[in-house]
Structures are given as C-alpha cells and as structure tokens.
C-alpha cells in the first residue's frame, strides 16, 4: 500500500480559467480548513460515470471526517481524477488538478485516527497515507475486503450509501501507477495536475463536483 501516497509549478494561465475559477480562499489556505464536521452528513459525488452518495460518520474517525468535510467545502475534489483504480482492491483519488493547491496541502497533515472497529470492506472510504500520521487529501474507496489495512492507519470514516455500481464503472485500464506499473505517476500529477493526466491518460474518469447533500 506504499503507493497510496499523497506537485508544483504550472502557471494560472497553463491551468486555465475554468480550473482557476474553482479556487477559493480555503482551498489555497489549508490553515483555514478547521471546521468541525457534523456527526453525520452525506455528500454527492458527481462523476463522469454518474453520481453516487457517500455517508460520513464522524464517530468512526473524527479527524478524517473533519478533514474531508473541509475539503469538500473548499471544492478541493472538483475536477479531480480517479487516478489509480485497481479491480478488486480500490479506487484512489484526491490529488488536485491544480498544482498550486497540491503545493499548499502537501504538508497539511493530520494525525491518524485509531482503529474504530469498522473495517475496510467494500464501499468504505479511508484516507491514503505515506506512513503514520501523514494523511492530507487522498482517499480510496474499497472494492473488496481489505481488512488487512485496518491496523495500518487506514481507518474508514465513510461509506458509499448509494450508487456503488457507479464506482464499479470507473476506468481501470491503466492499472498500477508508475514506477511499479504503467499508470499515472503521482509525483508528475502533483507537479503538473490535470494537464499531465489529460495528455497521457485520457480515459481516466473524473469527479466533476462533490456537494454536501445534508
């Protein structure tokens, strides 16, 4: 799971006006993303394959739920790719298409939530990590039973409550990411954003927008 890890340099002109339009003060200032999440809330993922709902349970992983809540409110996941989709394992996302945003959030780590008794089973969402206490913005949705991850800092904080069949449709043809596989290189994505993905991996599916439902 060492590739479930959380790049800098493309000008606003290169990113394009439509992408820059989604930038807000919280997106570019992680220190402002400190709101406490509701005990439970639902968000709608509007993707290139359709929409699905995710129900967040703050009691399962309070720090993770708070971070996700603030990222959604900041618009961080808008126009973000599912860049690592491995059948039977998981679908990973959470690197911004804006290199400037990635640079801001790279060091905005949160502590791990302790195991809560909820497991990484099909449909559960957890934060990706680069090791203990390194969670920032990347998430994955479990496709299968990945309970072996439960004690490694991957504490689920939410579940797909409707539309898992949409998650199952996400494009998985690129396989594992570089350098182990032929899929996207996370460092290149961090540094060059969606420009890198659109050029080299045009079949990827994207999150168009994530919105709070209630």
Element (H, E) at 72: helix 62-74
| 3-state class percentages of the chain: helix first, strand second, coil last, to nearest 5 | 25, 25, 50
The residue among 86, 72, 90, 88 whose CA lies nearest residue 22 is 72
Listed by start position, the domains of the chain span 39-212
Length of the chain: 214
Q: What is the pLDDT of residue 24?
A: 65
Please choose, from the candidates 61, 87, 69, the residue with its C-alpha nearest in 3D space to the C-alpha of residue 142: 87
The arrangement of secondary structure in 39-212, i.e. its CATH architecture, is Beta Barrel (2.40)
Query: In 3D, which of 39, 46, 68, 38 has the Cα closest to residue 163?
Result: 46
Distance CA 58, CA 65 (A): 5
**pLDDT tens for each residue of 129-169:** 999 999 999 999 999 999 999 989 999 999 999 999 999 99
pLDDT tens, position by position, 66-107:
999 999 999 999 999 999 999 999 999 999 999 999 999 999
**How far apart are alpha carbons 41 and 156 in whole angstroms?**
15
Reported as a single tens digit per residue, the pLDDT across 17-76 is 344 434 467 899 999 999 999 999 999 999 999 999 999 999 999 999 999 999 999 999
**Residue 45 structure tokens:** 């993922």
Residue whose C-alpha is closest to residue 69's, from 56, 53, 83: 56
């Amino acid at each position: 799971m060492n590739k479930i890890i959380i790049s800098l340099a493309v000008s606003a002109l290169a990113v394009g006006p439509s992408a820059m339009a989604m930038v807000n003060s919280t997106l570019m200032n992680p220190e402002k993303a400190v709101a406490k999440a509701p005990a439970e809330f639902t968000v709608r993922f509007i993707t290139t394959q359709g929409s699905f709902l995710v129900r967040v349970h703050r009691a399962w992983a309070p720090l993770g739920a708070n971070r996700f809540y603030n990222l959604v409110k900041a618009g961080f996941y808008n126009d973000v790719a599912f860049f690592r989709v491995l059948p039977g394992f998981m679908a990973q996302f959470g690197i911004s298409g804006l290199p400037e945003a990635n640079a801001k959030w790279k060091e905005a780590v949160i502590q791990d939530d302790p195991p809560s008794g909820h497991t990484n089973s099909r449909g559960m969402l957890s934060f990706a990590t680069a090791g203990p206490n390194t969670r920032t913005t990347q998430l994955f949705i479990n496709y299968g039973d990945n309970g072996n991850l439960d004690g490694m800092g991957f504490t689920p904080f939410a579940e797909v409550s409707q539309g898992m069949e949409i998650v199952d449709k996400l494009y998985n043809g690129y396989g594992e990411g570089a350098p182990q596989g032929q899929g996207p290189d996370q460092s290149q994505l961090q540094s060059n954003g969606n420009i890198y993905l659109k050029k080299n991996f045009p079949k990827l599916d994207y999150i168009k927008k994530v919105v709070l439902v209630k």
